Amino acid sequence: MTGVTLTDVAQRAGVSTPTASRVLRGVATVDQQLKEKVLLAASELGYQPNRLARSLRERRTGIIGFLNVGSTAKFHTVLAQGIYDAGLENGYAVVTGMSDTTDRQQSYAQIFAGFQVDGIIVVPTSQSDPAIDRIAKHIPVVEVDRSASSVSRHSVLLDNQHAMEMAVDHLVELGHRHIALLYGVEQVNTELERVEGYLCALRKHGLPRREALMLGDDFSEAGGMRSTAKLLDSGVPVTAVLTTTNEMLAGAVQVLREREINVPEQLSLIGMDDTRWVRLMTPPVTVVEQPAYDMGKKAMELLLAAIDEKAGQHPAEIRFAPRLIVRSSTSPPPFDSL
């Protein structure tokens, strides 16, 4: 709120307000002399355009709403960085809302709409969000990381099926045949697709689907602990464990330690996302990595494209390829396993 207005600049330069506006925006052609006067006046006064007024007039704010989930996972942090960076590069500011609860998401949706944001990037928390649905009728919305399947929208996602397939392929190559999956029971597409990818891969390798090897729980550390305990207690033969999130992996690791089960000698382990702890663990964990930064950038770019050619182009679904990082938590299964 410097208080210096365009009119102040115009007066000092001895021109009309519209002329000053034209000079400062570099639009139309203005007399060289006047131009210099205006520029001088502007810099002398330390003029800073009021984007509120400009936006009101232009009916476009240059603000993007970003509705993130309240996660401290590195993935979501880096995703956000990609979004901010791509925004900055294209002259857009990002207002962020962070929440897991639907009512708060609604609050943010309202706030975003009130601020006349030009578009919204959302990491959906549930299958469908009426507030977002309503807004999406008026302004472009891009989903990232997850997809609320109820409505078809622009989305930037990981190729989740392939991610799990890579993990299973790796294990099968090592000789594993009893591969367990720890997954989150939340109804988000990432989980559904990862489970599906696991099953596909099993089929591909001619391995049977065994319910006892598929453990669903919260995708939290506690959920990982519970499902790992359940798996071990069940007594079914198992030589490798796959998790859909590193939260569950953390839980699994703790239970394995308590029970003094050696990784990878007795049990191989694969996680999702490459984070510091996964690297520094003993042993370092083999994981599937997501290109978080690129996904964030792409989401912003897709959104900006949708804003510009607001043509009714039908929803684009962009899938990013995961990458397998092999470390020491995976090895051939023990001899005596079956």
Partner DNA sequence: TTGTAGGCGTTATCAA
Partner DNA sequence: TTGATAACGCCTACAA
List residues binding DNA (CB under 7 A): 3, 5-7, 15-19, 21-22, 24-25, 27-31, 33-35, 47, 49-50, 53-54, 56-59
Q: Determine contact, residues 140/161, Cβ cutoff 8 Å.
A: no
Closer Cβ to a copy of itself, 192 or 277, answer by number: 277
- Contact of residue 250 among DNA, a copy of itself, none (CB under 5-8 Å per partner type): a copy of itself
278 Cβ contact list (under 8 Å, min separation 6)? 246, 249, 271, 284, 285, 287
> Can you give the three-state secondary structure of 152-200, one letter per residue?
CCEEEEECHHHHHHHHHHHHHHHCCCCEEEEEECCCCHHHHHHHHHHHH
Among 220, 161, 154, smallest CA distance to 189 is for: 161
97 binds a copy of itself (CB under 8 A): yes
- Contact of residue 6 among DNA, a copy of itself, none (CB under 5-8 Å per partner type): DNA
Closer Cβ to a copy of itself, 118 or 193, answer by number: 118
Q: Determine contact, residues 162/197, Cβ cutoff 8 Å.
A: yes
Q: How far is 313 from 311, CA to CA, in rounded Å?
A: 5
Closer Cβ to DNA, 3 or 235, answer by number: 3
Number of residues that bind a copy of itself (CB under 8 A): 54
Q: Residue 248 Cβ, how far from a copy of itself at the closest point, in Å?
A: 12
Strand pairing of 286-289 and 323-325?
antiparallel
- Compute the Cα dihedral for 89, 319, 326, 228 and give only its sign: positive
Q: How far is 224 from 55, CA to CA, in rounded Å?
A: 48
Closer Cβ to a copy of itself, 93 or 321, answer by number: 93
Closer Cβ to DNA, 21 or 189, answer by number: 21
Residues forming the site for a copy of itself (CB under 8 A): 1-3, 46, 48-53, 55-56, 59, 61, 63, 70, 72, 74, 77-78, 80-81, 84-85, 88, 93-99, 104, 107-108, 110-111, 113-116, 134, 138-139, 250, 253-254, 275-278, 280-282
